[in-house]
Amino acid sequence: MMEWITFGIAVAGFLMSLATWILTFLSQRKNIGIRITECKSDDEITLCFVHIENKSRLPIAITRIVLLSGENEVDCVPFPTWVLDDTRRSGKEIISRKSYYSMQMPIAISALGAVSGYVLFQSDQRMLPDDAKLLNLKVYTNRGLTKIWSIPL
């Protein structure tokens, strides 16, 4: 009888440690979410306002973002580049002026944190057709390639 009690306690301990291991794995694996709220494309540049969310309990760094354009892969500009100005005026008087820059790589995101900003892609040819409905991105992190994202525009 005592052997069955010992065996039951051992099995319960094993099941609890297995459940803890599975929960730890699920909460600490790389898990990011990406949303694009705005995307503009010209002949040589594509500019997107991107929200990146880290759903993992470990910090992560986005090291590279690649735009897939047909057969071509275009890397984002890795250093801050001026992308747009916002000037507020009252008559002829300038009240405020803001300059916006693209995000610098790598993008560090804390555990369960999020960042947003402009991501700039430059190429010598048009990257997105005018009737594009999806934007395909490859996102690389310090923990490897996450996946290829097809994001609706």
Express each pLDDT in 76-98 by its tens digit.
999 999 988 888 888 888 888 89
What does 18-29 look like in DSSP terms, one character per residue? HHHHHHHHHHHS
pLDDT tens-digit readout, 1-18? 788 888 888 888 888 998
What pLDDT, on a 0 to 100 scale, did the predictor assign at position 41? 83
Domain spanning 32-152: CATH 1.20.970.10:
no
Give the predicted TM-score (pTM) of the model: 0.76
What does 40-106 look like in DSSP terms, one character per residue? EE-SSEEEEEEEEEE-SSS-EEEEEEEEEETTEEEEBPSS--EEEEEEEEETTEEEEEEEEEBPPSS
Residue 49 contacts residue 36 (beta carbons within 8 Å): yes
Residue 151 contacts residue 128 (beta carbons within 8 Å): no
Average pLDDT rounded to a whole number, residues 20-34:
80
Give 45 or 127, the one with higher predicted confidence.
45
Listed by start position, the domains of the chain span: 1-30, 32-152
Which distant-in-sequence residues (6+ apart) come within 8 Å of 115 by Cβ?
Answer: 51, 52, 103, 107, 109
